[in-house]
Structure 1
Amino acid sequence: MRSRIPIPTPMSTDPSAGLPTSGSAAPAADGVSTGFDLRHHGDAEVRGADADLTDLAVNVRAGTPPDWLKARIADSLDGLAAYPDGRTAREAVAARHGLPVGRVLLTAGAAEAFVLLARAIPAQRPVVVHPQFTEPEAALRDAGHTVERVILDERNGFRLAPDAVPEDADLVVIGNPTNPTSVLHPADALAGLARPGRTLVVDEAFMDAVPGERESLADRTDVPGLVVLRSLTKTWGLAGLRIGYVLAEPDTVTALERVQPLWPVSSPALTAAEACCAPPALAEAARAADRTAADRAHLADRLAQLAEVRVCGPAAGPFLLIRLPGAMAIRTRLRELGFAVRRGDTFPGLGPDWLRLAVRDRATTDRFVIALAKAIAESDA
C-alpha cells in the first residue's frame, strides 16, 4: 500500500551556487509543499500571448507536422464513428524497435505514462533525478507517494552520479537526453541503475532528436525493470494530438494497461503513430536530428559571444540550458522584443538565473541573439 506520510521540507536551489540546500518551500496547487511549480511548462510562456512571439520556449520542432502526416491524419477522420483499435499502431511501434508487441503500450502522450506508473507501481521509495521534466514527480505526488530528489551537480555538468541514487530506491526516474539540461547520459550508466525489485524509468521523449539515437535503451530487453518512455509529439509537431508509448516488460505493460482508461488514444493519434514509425518517416526524423544538431551548434557558438551567458554542455537535445545573471528580468524584456523563452526556476536543481532555449533555424537564432544582447545591455545600464 502506498504511503501517505507527510512530505519533508524539500531541497531548493541556491542560485549563487547552483547546489541543493535546505530552504523554505512554497505550497503547491495540491496543498503539498514542493518548493517548485512542478506544473509549469513551456507552453505557458506563449499561451494567451498578446504579441506575436517567436517561440523558443516549447521544444516542438518548428514547421511541423509535415504535410504528408497531416494528410494521413485527415484521412483517418472518416473512421471516427468507430471505437479506436490500437493493434496496428502497436505492431508498428514494436516493429520500429524490434520488440514483441507485448512490450508496447500506446499512451496519450508520454506524460500520461507518468500518471499510469504512479498509479500502477507500488513503490515505497521513489526517486526522481533532477533537474528534469517535472511531470514524473508531480504525478507521483498526486498519487500519494513521498518523492525523494537526487539533484545533479551543476559543477559536473549535471552528469549522472550513479552512487547518488539510494540503493533501496525501488522506482527511479531519469530523462535521456534530459529536459532541460540537454545532457545525454551513457546508456551503460543508466542500465547500471537497474536492481532486483527496482523499476527504472528512462524518459526518452527527445531521443529521436539525437542523431543515431545513440545511448538509447529502447530496444534493450536485458535490463530488469526497465521502462522506456517515448513521445511522438516533439519531432512531429503532435502536441495537440497526444501520442506516445511505453516500452517495458510484458508484466509491467499489463499493470499499466489495467489502470489506463478505455480507448485512451484516439484514432487520429493511432494513425499518426503508425505513420511516424514507418521507414520513410524514420529517415525523415534522422535528417531532422542532423539539422537540429547543426542548428544547436550554431546557437551555442552565437551565445558564446556573449560574456554574460554560460551554456550548459555538451548538449544533445533540441534545446540549450543557459545561465546568466538577472535571467528573470531579461526573460521579460525578451518578450517585449518578441521572443518567448522558458524560465528555469521551476525545475528542482535550478534557480532564477537559468533559461531554456529551444533550437531553431539559424536565421531565427541570429535574430534572437541580437535581442538577447540588447536585453543584457539594458539590464547592465
Structure 2
Amino acid sequence: MAATCAVATVQPHDLRHHGDAEVRGDGGALVDLAVNVRAHTPPDWLKQRIAASLDGLGSYPDGRSARAAVAARHGLPVGRVLLTAGAAEAFVLIARALGARRPVVVHPQFTEPEAALRDAGHTVERVVLRAADGFRLDPEAVPEEADLVVVGNPTNPTSVLHPAAVLTALARPGRILVVDEAFMDVVPGEREALAGRTDVPGLVVLRSLTKTWGLAGLRIGYVLAEPRVIAKLAAAQPLWPVSTPALVAAEACMAPAALEEAEAAARQIAVDRAHLLAGLAEFEEITVSGVAQGPFVLIRVAGGAEVRARLRSLGFAVRRGDTFPGLDDSWLRLAVRDRATTGSLLQALDHALALTAR
C-alpha cells in the first residue's frame, strides 16, 4: 500500500468551508444530506435537561460535575479530561498551546485542524491518502520527524475506520498524536476507539457531542490526554469556555441510558448505510472508495459539481468534496439517512445523472 509523501503545501482548498454552507439560506426547502448531524435530534429528554438548566444562567458555569462524568464514562482520572466548546475549539488550543515544530495532517480529513494550525503560524505538511488504496493509512508515510500528527477516525469525509493498531503505530516519544474521534460513537461498539487508552505516549483524543446528539449550536466536546497536555490546553482557554447548558448536556450524554441510546442509533445507522450503499452500487457512474463506517458515504462521479447542482435543484443538499485536500469536484459526501429519505435521494440521483449525461 502506498500513500503520497508528506510535503509542505500551499493552501489551495477552502479549509473553512463546512457542510452547513450547502443548506444555509434555503429556508428549509432542501433535504439536508450535507451535514453529518444525526436527524431528529436532540431528543426530547435532552432538550428538557438543557431547558431546565436555563434557571441557572445567573451563575458562572461550573464544569466539575460534567468533567467527572466524562472521566467516569471513559474510565479515566479527571485530570485527563478537558471540556471544550466543541472539538473545533480543541483544534485551536492544540495549535496554539503545544508548540509543534513540524505538524503533519493526514488528509483527506476534516479541515479545521489544518486551518487552526495555519492560523497559529505553523507550516503544515500533509500526508494525502489515495482512493486507490481505499484511503487506508500506512504509518510509514508519516515523516519520522513529525512532532504533531492529526488524523480522524472514522475519518470525515472518507468514512474510513482505521485500525487502532495502525494509529498507535504512529505514537513515539516526543510526538503528540491527535486522533479526532468525533464520529466514533456512531460506530457500533466503538471498535478501534482509542478514548480511554493511557498506554499510548503523546495520545490526544478528541470527542464531540455534536453529531449524535444534534448539539452543533450548543458547542460541546472534550479532550482526553495526559494531565500535562491537558494543563497546557486549559491554560490557553478563556475563562468559562463552556456554557452551563452545554455542561448539563455533556453530563446527561454520559449517563448509561444515553450511551445505550447512542449505541442503538449507531446500529441503526449501520443498517441505513448498508441500504444507501446497495442503492449506490446500482449506478455504474458512481464509485465508492474505501469501506464506509461512519454516518456518511464518500462517492466519486464524473461531473460531480454539475450533479451536486442538479441534486440541489431537485431538493437535496449534498457536501462538495473539492474543499478537502486530496479530493476534487468529482467527489461528493452523502449523509446517511433513513430508508425513505435514501429512496428519494436515489431517485433524484438517477434523474440528475441522466440530465448530466445529456
State the 1:153 CA deviation.
1.4
Q: Which runs of 4+ in 1 moved over 4 A?
A: 19-22
Amino acid at match of 1:52: A
Q: Tell whether 2:36 aligns with 1:59.
A: yes
Question: How far, CA to CA, are the matches of 1:355 and 1:168 in structure 2?
Answer: 34
Query: 1: distance between equivalents of 2:214 and 2:28?
Result: 22
Task: Measure, in 2, the Cα distance between the counterparts of 1:141 and 1:150.
Answer: 16
TM-score normalised over the length of structure 2: 0.97
1:313 Cα deviation after fit: 2.9
Deviation at 1:49, TM superposition (A): 1.6
Q: 1:222 to 1:316 in 2, by over 3 A?
A: same
Question: Is residue 2:165 matched to residue 1:155?
Answer: no
Match of 2:68?
A: 91
* Structure-1 residue corresponding to 2:196: 219
Task: Kindly provide the CA deviation profile for residues 174-200 of structure 1, in whole angstroms up to 9, marking residues without a partner as x.
Answer: 000000000000001101100110000
The structural deviation recorded for 1:20 is: 6.6
Alignment partner, residue 87 of structure 2: 110
**After superposition, where does 1:252-263 map in structure 2 within 5 Å?**
252-263=229-240
The equivalent residue for 1:342 is: 319
Letter in 2 for 1:207: M
* 1:238 partnered with 2:238: no
Distance 1:20 1:324, change over 3 A: farther
Query: What secondary structure is seen at the aligned counterpart in 2 of 1:227?
Result: strand
Identity of aligned residues (%): 73
Q: Which residue is equivalent to 1:318? A: 295
Unaligned segments of structure 1, at least 5 residues: 1-18, 26-32
CA distance in 2, matches of 1:311, 1:153: 13
Give the 5 Å matches for 1:5-44. Answer: 33-44=10-21
Q: Deviations over 1:346-377 (max 9, x none)?
A: 00011110000000000000000000010000
Aligned match for 1:195, one of 169, 172, 179: 172
Cα distance in 2, alignment partners of residues 136 and 380 from structure 1: 37
**Do the aligned partners of residues 21 and 188 (structure 1) sit closer, same or farther apart at CA in structure 2, a change above 3 Å counting?**
closer
Query: CA contact under 8 A between 1:51 and 1:338: conserved in structure 2?
Result: no
Pick aligned residue for 1:126 from 95, 98, 103 = 103
Deviations 1:204-251 (A, max 9, x none): 000000000000000100000000000001000000000000000000
- Secondary structure of the 2:324 match is coil
Letter of the 1:93 counterpart: V
Match of 1:291 in 2: 268
Structure 1 CA distance for aligned equivalents of residues 156 and 56 of structure 2: 36
Residues 322 and 356 in structure 1, CA contact (< 8 A), matched pair in contact too = yes
Given residue 225 of structure 1, which amino acid in structure 2 is its aligned partner?
A: G
Q: Take 2:56 and 2:137, find their aligned partners in 1: how far apart are those partners?
A: 46
Query: Cα offset for 1:51?
Result: 6.1
| Residue in 1 that maps onto 2:308 | 331
Deviation at 1:312, TM superposition (A): 2.3
Alignment-derived partner of residue 258 in structure 2: 281
State the aligned residue count.
354
Task: Please state whether the residue corresponding to 2:150 is helix, strand or coil.
Answer: strand
